Structure 1
Amino acid sequence: MSQMDVDEPVCLPRLSRVAVCGGTHGNELSGVYLVRELLKLQRRPSEDDDEEPTSLLTVLSNPRAVQQGRRYTDTDLNRCFTLATLNGPTSDSPPYEILRARELNAMLGPKGGPGAVDLVCDLHNTTANMGLCFIAYSDCDWICLHIFKYLQRQMPDVPMRFVHLGSSEKESYSLDSVGKHGFAMEIGPQPHGVVRSDIYGLMNAGVQHMLDWVRLFNSGAVFEGGFVDVFTLVKNIDYPRDEKTHNITAAVHSHLQDRDFCLLRPHDPLFQTFSGETLRYSGSEPLYAFFINEGSYYEKGIALSLARKRRLVIPAIRAQTEEEEQARGFTSEEEE
């Protein structure tokens, strides 16, 4: 990317509909309580209602799991948003989360369609010591990357990372993939089924800064380009297991525990068996460890994830003017 490309703003459509979702996992409580607070605020009359250029949708994603205080009731809702699952045949007694995913897709999507909401921010907690993370499928979605960059500036004392999953639209499986732009805001450490005031406060600040950015963008502000460090998922590592029982035989090593986004080098301590033996990382390249010992991932066979870190150059951006949007609409009609 040349310097001219970086300096010349990229013009993008305004974000007229934004969704903030919580409770996709019913026991991740910061998002549950934050969405409830946002819903309370929306019910109150505001003097700024006529001036608000953005429609904000607040969604409690999995109300049944929230009511039961569980991650999910039948199957993980945050794995139900692939195109195959959303559009596939329905069985006689489908899991509740499959039905709910299709309801959410009808409400916020359809996924990949022109009527989908412009931006989805899905709120999550992790038991891992990850600070505040954006998790997204694309590493070239300038909207999500600029929002992340803005939060970094507004919250300089908060450990913050951008995690890139790299799946295609067809294979992307989480709720945030329903919007034209989307990311999960993952904050920890917080035990599942518990709400901590410090973690809730970080999430609330992050959401408010995100909404502030959207208002600035829609008002015509130009956001300068720059650099963003991105952690791209390479692979997941399972716990050592007994071949016969499939029970785990080791825990994450104490040298690695709580050190999310540290650089894990070949031969570094990785696990400690229950008999006291140290098992070392056998990979050939240094990678960054995250989601270390995440409580909900035991059932998924994931002890930690590994990523490569790289620095991206992102261009300056601004919202299209009404005239530019109209011209774009005319062009689209002519192409059809």
Structure 2
Amino acid sequence: MCSTPSVRHQLDRVAVMGGTHGNELSGVYLVKHWLQDPSELQRATFTTTPFLANPKATKRCVRYVSQDLNRSFTRALLTSKGTEDSLYEVRQAKKINQLFGPRGSADAFDFIFDLHNTTSNMAACLLSDSEENVFTMHMCHYIQKNTQGPCPIYLYGCPGPENPFLLSVGKNGLGMELGPQPHGVLRADVLSHMRALVACGLDFIDLFNQGASFPAFDIVAYRVIETVDFPRSPGGELLGSVHPQLQDKDFCPLKPGDPIFQLFSGKEIFYEGDATIYPAFINEAAYYEKGAAFHKMKKCTFSIPPLQAPSASAP
């Protein structure tokens, strides 16, 4: 079940998370800056808390220490005891859940921004659980209208209590994936772009809290269909790479018969699907270990209903 904040109530507590992956440096250094001077994050109608999600991984400039923190928020892991509890990221997930949740409770933070970088050519990608989350879809629409450059919307699904992602801790949230940026590298243009997106999202919450209503609209978003792995040997070794014609074509149409891989032997492998898809996270460095060369996405258009201003008289 997806958690969507009531449109009858204003949002009071917001968190901005960086360093969920310790080598994705735009969010890391923005949050480090905001921890020293949080004034940039504050708005008249709510408080914003910056938080460095994975300090050990950040210190080592690695994605994670024991396991991926952004896959450690399932109910099973948050309630685990014994050997799994010794894993650093499991302990850190429990800490985040205590500080900003508990997940699914009335005490959870109203909104969480989770800041990421990708090596893929994703532009400024906005990640939401579902198009049915009216508040977040209105925020995405507002960001698209008020910032420069493309901001595709990536719908990752909402698997309920086994949702593994940090965003599931809050009552609502938005992920940001900016790239391409190599892991362990800081680019001023990418950091500035992320900073502007966060500011725009905070402005939207402030407008909503001040009593603004937002009309209905139609919007394009991309929904995950399937993950495609690299061609591999029976022992798991790579047999080829992403095809040059697919590389850097995130969210561009991939038609049946288009090349997707180039084997080391020189042979090409072609997309054999029966419909056009829109790949994302193409050749993401962190996904080699996850068996993902790219994600197959379906391009969809959704009609989003209006978002009414919060009622001051609501209990």
TM normalised by structure 1 equals: 0.89
Retained in 2: the 8 A contact 1:137–1:172? no
Retained in 2: the 8 A contact 1:24–1:77? yes
Partner residue of 1:268 out of 244, 248, 258: 258
Which string of whole-angstrom CA distances, capped at 9 and with x for unpartnered residues, describes residues 57-107 of structure 1?
111000000001100001000000111111222427611000000000000
Q: Which residue of 2 aligns with 1:207?
A: 198
The answer to whether structure 1 residue 247 and structure 2 residue 243 are counterparts is no
Letter in 1 for 2:297: A
- In 1, the alpha carbon distance for the partners of 2:96 and 2:157 equals 23
Q: Which residue of 2 aligns with 1:331?
A: none
- In 1, the alpha carbon distance for the partners of 2:77 and 2:127 equals 21
Q: Which residue of 2 aligns with 1:14?
A: 10
Deviates more, 1:167-176 or 1:142-151: 167-176
Letter in 1 for 2:163: S
The offset of 1:55, in angstroms, is 1.5
In structure 2, runs of 5+ residues without a counterpart are 1-5
Q: Percent identity?
A: 40
Q: Which residue of 1 aligns with 2:113?
A: 121
Q: Which residue of 1 aligns with 2:48?
A: 56
Q: Which residue of 2 aligns with 1:4?
A: none
- Classify 1:159/1:233 alpha carbon distance in 2 versus 1 (closer, same or farther; 3 Å): same
- In 1, the alpha carbon distance for the partners of 2:301 and 2:192 equals 29
- Provide the alpha-carbon RMSD of the alignment: 1.7
Retained in 1: the 8 A contact 2:208–2:310? no
Retained in 2: the 8 A contact 1:82–1:170? yes
The offset of 1:161, in angstroms, is 0.9
Q: How does 1:152-167 map to 2 (within 5 A)?
A: 152-155=144-147, 157-167=148-158
| SS of residue matched to 1:200 | helix
Q: Which residue of 2 aligns with 1:5?
A: none
| SS of residue matched to 2:283 | coil
- In 1, the alpha carbon distance for the partners of 2:7 and 2:143 equals 21
Number of equivalent positions: 310
The answer to whether structure 1 residue 66 and structure 2 residue 58 are counterparts is yes
Deviates more, 1:216-225 or 1:99-108: 216-225
- In 1, the alpha carbon distance for the partners of 2:84 and 2:231 equals 38
- In 1, the alpha carbon distance for the partners of 2:98 and 2:18 equals 17
Retained in 2: the 8 A contact 1:137–1:168? no
- In 1, the alpha carbon distance for the partners of 2:168 and 2:211 equals 26
Letter in 1 for 2:212: A
Q: Which residue of 2 aligns with 1:141?
A: 133
Retained in 1: the 8 A contact 2:9–2:312? no
Which entry has the higher C-alpha Rg, 1 or 2?
A: 1
Retained in 2: the 8 A contact 1:177–1:183? no
Partner residue of 2:217 out of 188, 209, 226: 226
Q: How does 1:297-308 map to 2 (within 5 A)?
A: 297-308=287-298
The offset of 1:319, in angstroms, is 3.2
Q: How does 1:16-55 map to 2 (within 5 A)?
A: 16-42=12-38, 52-55=44-47
Q: Which residue of 2 aligns with 1:279?
A: 269
| SS of residue matched to 1:91 | helix
Deviates more, 1:20-29 or 1:274-283: 274-283
- In 1, the alpha carbon distance for the partners of 2:266 and 2:199 equals 46
- Classify 1:97/1:292 alpha carbon distance in 2 versus 1 (closer, same or farther; 3 Å): same
Retained in 2: the 8 A contact 1:152–1:160? yes
Letter in 2 for 1:19: A
- In 2, the alpha carbon distance for the partners of 1:136 and 1:250 equals 32
